[in-house]
Amino acid sequence: MEYKDNPIFPARFMWGASSASWQVEGAVNEDGRTPSVIDLNTKTKEGYADNSVTADHYHHYREDVELMKKAGFTSYRFSIAWSRIYPDDSGVPNQLGIAFYNNLINSLVKSGIEPIVTLYHYDMPVWVDEKYGGWYDRGIIDAFDQYVRTCFKEYGDRVKYWLSINEQNMQICYGKWLGVCKNEDTWEEDQWKVNNIMNVCHAKAVIACHELVPGGQIGPVPGYVPIYPETCKPADQIAAQNAEEMTEKVWTDFYAHQEYNGFIKAYWREHNINPDIRPEDLDAFAKAKIDFFALNCYRSNTAREAKPDEKAEDYLLNKSGKKGELSFPVVPGMYALTKNSYVETTDWDWEIDPIAMRYMLRYVWDHYQLPMMITENGLGAHEDVSEDGKVHDPERIKFLRDQIFQVGRAIQDGCEVIGYNPWSFTDLLSTGNGMSKRYGLVFINTTDKDVRDLRRIPKDSYYWYSNLIKSNGQDWGVQADGKI
């Protein structure tokens, strides 16, 4: 539907930004933190900085919160590093690690900023990985439960919004790339066992949050990439649905309905897969009623029919940051992703598609009728300080304006959206592309090769976003295209 007026955002809408521990904190060996698997993973990415310094938020958090406050933030989404809280398997939490997040949370609360905390964002402690073989062994269930219960007890008096596992769907779908997969030969079946163990961890975190945090709310964080059919050929529509099932809906259905959907059960039957679901898992799922969906959405995809005899192809991600390097996956008999000629792309070939944001919110709302918050959305770009000492990022302003406007349109369409926290507050270490792919509203003066002085320089987008949020979504700024 077209509307005559600009959107109105609800009172108490949570306007902020996002980050994740290993992508911003640095200080990897300080105050008792022990290594996490992602520390090792970042070291394998040639040409990019590892996560030992990144934005050095660990030492700059006061200054960072001050900048959030000046911008008028009412929320901030960040994650806790498990290996700061439990650096080893002694069962004794690390008081210095606990203190760091207490200090951060206190600074936020004092500044009127609602903390939204992710319990797990890819950074499994190495000791957990070594002891349990990552997510492969059910022993991790108790270790995770111990960790999340400590977080709820320590911070639950001030933190009311909790997120369980970041992008579990992506960790399974791209398990080889994100380091979850330990054996490529058996991953076809293993991924569903691993996924079930993650689901049990998610469910137990939901149960523990409701038990231990007065007024606490908790939700999952699927990575969401809406998928369009390439054409109106009926087989392309089914291919798009297949892709949506296998990359998203299997997870969102599970979180909302607390059981596996018919599509994935049929897939397991068809492929002789035993995901090793135990009766006690079903009990935990039945009790794990989520309160909202946290959604990460950057882009859309397009799918076409893939015949059963087509050659399987993996995603080839863009590493150079020069357009045209990415190639799409083919899953024979299910779907193939293709280029969408209707949308522009970033330098890393990610589709720039604000309408996908509105589509996703409507889709999730229609299916599940649960409140939603955006916990990631943003533009990765090459950027540096200009001669005038400032950082000019007009593309990010355009990207955010168009995306937020579509969040507003979804609200006008009747969706319940409670917050918007784009990726990212400061520049940080990109999962795939190090410091060279910048997402921040605030520039961090460092590069992949050279840790400069780590100065914080608010970009033009920071000031633009600040005006928008201080007006609760009314001041859209000067319009290049005159549209909004």
Q: Which residues are catalytic?
A: 167, 376
Select from 54, 75, 166, 466 the one that contacts ligand BG6 (CB under 6 A): 166
Contact status: 167 vs ligand BG6 (CB under 6 A):
yes
Q: Which of these, 194, 164, 200, lies nearest to 179 by C-alpha position?
A: 194
Which residues within the stretch 201-240 sit at the binding site for ligand BG6 (CB under 6 A)?
223
Residue 60 or 438: the one with the smaller Cβ distance to ligand BG6 is 438
Strands 351-352 and 344-345, bridge-based pairing: antiparallel
The rounded distance, in Å, linking the Cα atoms of 98 and 289 is 28
Contact status: 105 vs ligand BG6 (CB under 6 A):
no
Token pair belonging to 44: 């394998």
Contact status: 284 vs ligand BG6 (CB under 6 A):
no
Q: How far is the CB of 178 from ligand BG6 (least distance, A)?
A: 9
Which residues within the stretch 357-376 sit at the binding site for ligand BG6 (CB under 6 A)?
376
Contact status: 25 vs ligand BG6 (CB under 6 A):
no
The rounded distance, in Å, linking the Cα atoms of 307 and 260 is 27
Which residues within the stretch 418-447 sit at the binding site for ligand BG6 (CB under 6 A)?
423, 430-433, 437
Contact status: 380 vs ligand BG6 (CB under 6 A):
yes
Tell me 257's DSSP state: H
Q: What one-character-per-residue DSSP string does 122-191 give? A: S--BHHHHHHHTGGGSTHHHHHHHHHHHHHHHHHTTT--EEEEEETHHHHHHTTTTTT--S-GGGHHHHH
Query: From residue 321 to residue 340, what is the string marking binding to ligand BG6 with x (rule CB under 6 A)?
Result: --------------------
Q: How far is the CB of 317 from ligand BG6 (least distance, A)?
A: 8
The rounded distance, in Å, linking the Cα atoms of 93 and 84 is 8
Token pair belonging to 423: 């990726």
The rounded distance, in Å, linking the Cα atoms of 125 and 82 is 6
From 62-70, 162-170, 332-340, 391-399, give the range in contact with ligand BG6 by CB under 6 A. 162-170
Q: How far is the CB of 382 from ligand BG6 (least distance, A)?
A: 13
Phi-psi region at 99: left, alpha or beta (left = phi > 0; alpha = psi -120 to 50)? alpha
Q: How far is the CB of 447 from ligand BG6 (least distance, A)?
A: 16
Residue 107 or 166: the one with the smaller Cβ distance to ligand BG6 is 166
The rounded distance, in Å, linking the Cα atoms of 107 and 269 is 51
Residue 15 or 224: the one with the smaller Cβ distance to ligand BG6 is 224
Residues near ligand BG6 (CB under 6 A) are 20, 23, 166-167, 170, 223, 296, 376, 380, 423, 430-433, 437
